[in-house]
Amino acid sequence: EAGVTQSPTHLIKTRGQQATLRCSPISGHTSVYWYQQALGLGLQFLLWYDEGEERNRGNFPPRFSGRQFPNYSSELNVNALELEDSALYLCASSPPGGSNQPQHFGDGTRLSIL
C-alpha cells in the first residue's frame, strides 16, 4: 500500500511569492490534514479537508488556504509568503470513521523563504 506522498520535497521561495504544496492520501482515505512544523514550535494544525470540503482550520491567517480534489488529493496554498512561513509542512490522511482514526503522515515539504 502506497503511503501519503507529498511534493515537492523542498521548495525555496522569496518573500511575497506564492507557494503550492501537494498531497496524495492513502487509497481509501477521505480526510486530508495539513500541519506546519516550524523549528521549536511543534506541529500546528492548519487545515482539515474531508469529502472535498474544508471542515476545520487552525489559527492561521487567510493567506493559508487549500482545497481537496474529487480524487481526495489536496493542495495547500500560501500567498504573500513571509520569512516566518519557513517550516516543514506535513500532510496526513485518515480513513472514514471520525476522530478515533489515526492519521498517516507523509514525509513533508520543507519550505524555505529567503
* Residue 92: its H or E element: strand 87-94
Cα(104)–Cα(111) distance, rounded to whole angstroms? 21
Which of 37, 79 has the CB closer to another protein?
A: 37
CA quadruple 1, 24, 100, 110: dihedral sign: positive
Which of 25, 106 has the CB closer to another protein?
A: 106
If one asks whether residue 33 binds another protein (CB under 8 A), the answer comes out as: yes
The answer to whether residues 76 and 67 touch, using CB atoms and an 8 Å cutoff, is no
If one asks whether residue 99 binds another protein (CB under 8 A), the answer comes out as: yes
103 Cα distance to chain centroid: 13
Say whether 7 sits in a helix, a strand or coil. Answer: strand
If one asks whether residue 103 binds another protein (CB under 8 A), the answer comes out as: yes
If one asks whether residue 60 binds another protein (CB under 8 A), the answer comes out as: no
If one asks whether residue 48 binds another protein (CB under 8 A), the answer comes out as: yes
Among 43, 80, 83, 114, which residue interacts with another protein (rule: CB under 8 A)?
43
Residues that bind another protein (CB under 8 A): 4, 31, 33, 35, 41-43, 45, 48, 50, 55-56, 58, 90, 92, 98-100, 102-108
